[in-house]
Amino acid sequence: KLLKRNRICLSVFAVVLALAGAQGLTPAHHLSLPDVARLQSLLSQQFTDLESAYYSVLGLTKLGAAVSDHKQVCRFIKSQLDPTSIDSVFFAAEASQAISGCEIPVSNETRDILLAAVSEDSTMTQIHRAVSALSSLGLPVASQEVVGALTARINKEDNVMAITSALQTAARLSKQAELGGILEEIEDLTARLDDLGGIYLQFEEGLEATAMFVTAAYSLSDHVDMEPPLKEDQVIQLVNSIFSKKSWDSLAEAFSVASAAAALSNNRFHVPVFVSAQGPATVSHSQPTLQLLVTDVMSQPLASANVLVESAYAVASKSIILNQAPFTLNDGVFELNFMSKQPASGYYQFTIAVTGDSRLVANHVELKVKVSTEVAVANMDLSVVDKDQSIGTKTTRVDYPSKAKSSFTADSHQNFAMSFQLVDVNTGVELTPHQTFVRLHNQKTGQEVVFVAEPDSKNLYKFELDTAERKSEFDSISGTYSLYLIVGDATLENPILWNVADVVLKFVDEEAPATIQAKTLYVPKPEIQHLFREPEKKPPTVVSNTFTALVMSPFLLLLILWFKLGANISNFSFSPSTILFHVGHAAMLGLMYVYWTHLNMFQTLKYLAIIGGVTFLAGNRMLAQKAVKRYVS
Amino acid sequence: MSNSVISVISRFLEEYSSSTPNKLKVVDAYLLYILLTGALQFLYCLLVGTFPFNSFLSGFISCVGSFILAVCLRIQINPQNKGEFLSISPERAFADFLFAHTVLHLVVMNFIG
């Protein structure tokens, strides 16, 4: 049943892959050969205890490297073994399993200690190490009991490393056991991964946790032969996270990276592919083949892969130049003779597909290939043209790389003209490179003026120097200028700097400066004085004080008027609500003053609510009493 | 022409002092006070300048607002208008006056700077 489900899964996966066609993610990082070498050398360091021996031996084995001097390692393991410690037995058992001819003697006592560790009261690490040790030593393990203990521990220890250990443990159990529940933990852990920018997928616990998770997930998936619930893009994101770090802090970290590399290059379901060009992705007449390295994440070449170009089109013109062209395998490198299709120089976008194994992930890659060529200058014609066209032009042809024999003279009545063509040496096609400059250099003063030569509609380059119009660029300094032609482009293999001729320019109203002042670009600039905002002019204090007194004076008038009218407070009743009201009202007025000096609106509203509430209630009472008095009288 | 104006004014003053209840005269004195204060503030602004403008605005608006509220109070407590304000007793009018003043002073103090 499991097999059939797996078959259907695989075929659906293959169909999806085929349909996917265009772009998913491709790995940005992998372990290049120097990285693998660095990892190996870190793992080959002299080990000091059993734990480092375990990491070294197993790490090197996973990378496919040889462990030096098995006998010495075996002796070391046996000497360091502590048969009463589960950890010690675990490291010794696993390491000895990896090297040939090393048998660890196991006593009944040790076996009992290991079996006793399989319970829900031990930590996950202890269960994992005990079960692994038992399995490596060839001792029987009660798989169903282990599953029970693991399931109970997963509920208590919910962290990533613990669940990863559970997955690893389950991979050592019998296939008949009920591993379904533990298998589901892979999906739960996948949901806990953090997606960083769509490129990286990792646990916040770090690199070691992520790498060990990948190892454990594939280990268990292979064991039960069920595809892990990781999407293609997620696998690539995990690859990016694990292999982006190129130097490792500890042996444990290095071991985890080595384990992940081994798991990702050799499991039954997902094998990420890394495609890169050998050297720069450039072809030219001298180097007509495009060479590709197609490897797994550990830079091991893929044994059975077919590489072909699905389509290639020119970036500039979008015309398709290749369709379903296969690469040939030549000594571990995939080659394609691109120049045989006689592409014009420029950039081409290749879509490359790697097929041949249904497990391949990220096997559609986009690659930008440059076709470069050599340029030649043809039909370089120099002439001095009279502005009024009365005297016929005299054209001198100059061939690259020689210089014109005589110099050309142009004064304010004449224009100096230059025309030429740039052609591809191999195909004769006219080119329009990015950089075509004409540089005039005054040898005596060191002055340099650069112009751009523009092609017309027929790709013929023309340059005209109007002596009168351009005199400001030259600062009107007459003299002999060397004329250079500069041609350059990213797709040209032979940039050109050609001293074509000498031009004598005569300017009207020549200015005095014999030497050039270099442009003062890098001298300190004049200091900027910051003008702070001037405070507004205030009126003199006398005026303010006078007007303050003046504004207060109507109050006096009010008091006098009220006195004259006979306004009095003889009706003041000393009931509590009245007193409370007046006190509250005075407090509110005081609050207004305090608001002006100290508080902000929020604090004021808060106090106002309290005082106002009290005043309102008291005032309500007081006014009601007054109304009653009024009605009665 | 000026004769009739003077006679109208003197007639008005007579009527005012005789027929207006004392309570209303008290409020009228208050209104005069507010008016004078506001006018003097405006005079200062014209003569000396608008700096600081926010303070001037706040003071002037305080006078204007107080004047309006006092006018409302006067209208509401005038016994001759009792028919129009059946549901509003003089005490209620005074309470409204106080409440509105609280809000006005809150705004004025905020703006005075």
Residue B112: which of A567, A596, A616 has the nearest Cβ? A596
Mean pLDDT of A148-157: 90
pLDDT digits (tens, 9 = 90+) for A92-106: 999 988 888 888 888
Mean pLDDT of B14-29: 87
Give the residue among A189, A257, A188, A216 at the shortest CA–CA distance from A132: A216
| pLDDT band, residue B108 (cuts 50/70/90) | very high
Subunit contact B51:A550, Cβ cutoff 8 A: no
Give the model's pLDDT for residue A385.
83
Start-to-end C-alpha separation, chain B? 50
Residues with Cβ within 8 Å of A464's Cβ and at least 6 positions away in sequence, in order, are A415, A416, A417, A418
Flag whether the pTM goes above 0.80. Answer: no
Subunit contact B22:A567, Cβ cutoff 8 A: yes
Residue A592: which of B36, B44, B109 has the nearest Cβ? B109
Subunit contact A620:B32, Cβ cutoff 8 A: no
Give the model's pLDDT for residue A428.
83
Mean pLDDT of A7-36: 68
Asked if residue A95 lies in contact with residue A79, where contact means CB atoms within 8 angstroms, the answer is: no
> CA of A562, closest CA in chain B: separation in Å?
6
Subunit contact A623:B37, Cβ cutoff 8 A: no
Give the model's pLDDT for residue A22.
42
Subunit contact B94:A592, Cβ cutoff 8 A: no
Instruction: Indicate whether B25 belongs to any domain.
Output: yes
Subunit contact A623:B49, Cβ cutoff 8 A: no
Report the distance separating Cα A587 and Cα A559, nearest Å: 23
Asked if residue A484 lies in contact with residue A450, where contact means CB atoms within 8 angstroms, the answer is: no
| pLDDT band, residue A516 (cuts 50/70/90) | low
Instruction: Indicate whether B16 belongs to any domain.
Output: no
Asked if residue A230 lies in contact with residue A254, where contact means CB atoms within 8 angstroms, the answer is: no
Mean pLDDT of A549-559: 89
* Domain limits for position B74: 21-112
> CA of A195, closest CA in chain B: separation in Å?
50
Give the model's pLDDT for residue A263.
93
Give the model's pLDDT for residue A632.
83
For B44, nearest residue in chain A (alpha carbons): A547
Subunit contact B110:A601, Cβ cutoff 8 A: yes
Residue B52: list chain A partners with CB under 8 A. Answer: 536
> CA of A560, closest CA in chain B: separation in Å?
10
Residue A595: list chain B partners with CB under 8 A. Answer: 106, 109-110
> CA of A551, closest CA in chain B: separation in Å?
6
CB pairs under 8 A between A and B: 75
Look at chain A and count its residues: 633
Report the distance separating Cα B25 and Cα A305, nearest Å: 109
Other CB atoms within a 10 A radius of the CB of residue A500 amount to 22
Give the model's pLDDT for residue A202.
92
ipTM of the complex: 0.85
pLDDT, mean over chain A: 86
Subunit contact B106:A623, Cβ cutoff 8 A: no
Mean pLDDT of A200-215: 93
For B49, nearest residue in chain A (alpha carbons): A539
> CA of B1, closest CA in chain A: separation in Å?
32
Q: Could you tell me which residues of chain B have a Cβ less than 8 Å from any Cβ in chain A? A: 22, 25-26, 29-30, 32-34, 36-37, 40-41, 44, 48-49, 51-52, 89-92, 94-95, 98-99, 102, 105-106, 109-110, 112
| pLDDT band, residue A20 (cuts 50/70/90) | very low
Instruction: Indicate whether B4 belongs to any domain.
Output: no
Instruction: Indicate whether B1 belongs to any domain.
Output: no
For B89, nearest residue in chain A (alpha carbons): A627
Domain count, chain B: 1
Instruction: Indicate whether B9 belongs to any domain.
Output: no
Report the distance separating Cα A411 and Cα A391, nearest Å: 14
Give the model's pLDDT for residue A11.
56
| pLDDT of A209 above 90 | yes
A323-337, A531-545, A552-566: least confident range: A531-545
Do the bridges between strand A289-295 and strand A306-314 make them parallel or antiparallel, or are there none, so unpaired? unpaired
Instruction: Indicate whether B97 belongs to any domain.
Output: yes
| pLDDT of A487 above 60 | yes
Q: How far is CA A393 from CA A295, A461, A466, in A?
A: 64, 18, 15
pLDDT digits (tens, 9 = 90+) for A606-629: 999 999 999 999 988 888 888 888
For A543, nearest residue in chain B (alpha carbons): B48
Instruction: Indicate whether B10 belongs to any domain.
Output: no
Instruction: Indicate whether B6 belongs to any domain.
Output: no
Residue B90: list chain A partners with CB under 8 A. Answer: 630
Report the distance separating Cα A362 and Cα A360, nearest Å: 7
Report the distance separating Cα A130 and Cα A173, nearest Å: 12
Report the distance separating Cα A400 and Cα A415, nearest Å: 23
